[in-house]
Amino acid sequence: MKQTLAHANRMLKLFGFFKVPLIWYCRPKILVLNEDQVQVRIPLKRKTKNHLNSMYFGTLAIGADVAGGFMAMSKAESRGRKISLAFKAVTGDFLKRPEGDVVFTCTDGKLIDEMLDETLSSGERVNQPVRITATCPTLHGDEPMAVFDLTLSVKAIS
């Protein structure tokens, strides 16, 4: 993927502002974007926390959504193709309260490549679960705070 982090973050901000304002409201920032993984950080601020001073459930879902979907959009864009992207199902295991900034990591780049290859060749919708792990590195290192499995659904647009 040829996209720089600055370009990716600009595109994410624009997408959030114009298409999904709740994403923009949470101020996610892409930290890593390569062929294999994406990492997105959402800061713990007044707007993103709950009454227990940990990251709000809805904010965690937004972070998982961004981490799971941005790589697919970016990979399709780098191929010069447009795709329809949605999530069909979600499961989440909340393991520990994230009381600091949260980093959402998806390492399913190869799986997403296979999904894009399939939809671009067949024209059919392809559904596969992708895993997103939420960590709170400043307080707990790589220990998972939550783990999400989102069924990513992609279809090539002609």
CATH code where residue 57 lies:
3.10.129.10
Distance of alpha carbon 138 from alpha carbon 119, whole angstroms: 39
| Chain segment 89-143, per-residue pLDDT in tens | 999 999 999 999 999 999 999 999 999 999 999 999 999 999 999 999 999 999 9
Domain that holds residue 125: 5-156
Q: How many domains does the chain have?
A: 1
Report how many helices (DSSP H) and strands (DSSP E) the chain contains, helices first. Answer: 5, 6
Note the pTM of the prediction, 2 decimals. Answer: 0.95
At 97, the amino acid letter reads R
CA–CA dist 158, 152 (Å, integer): 19
Cross-strand bridge partners of residue 84:
155
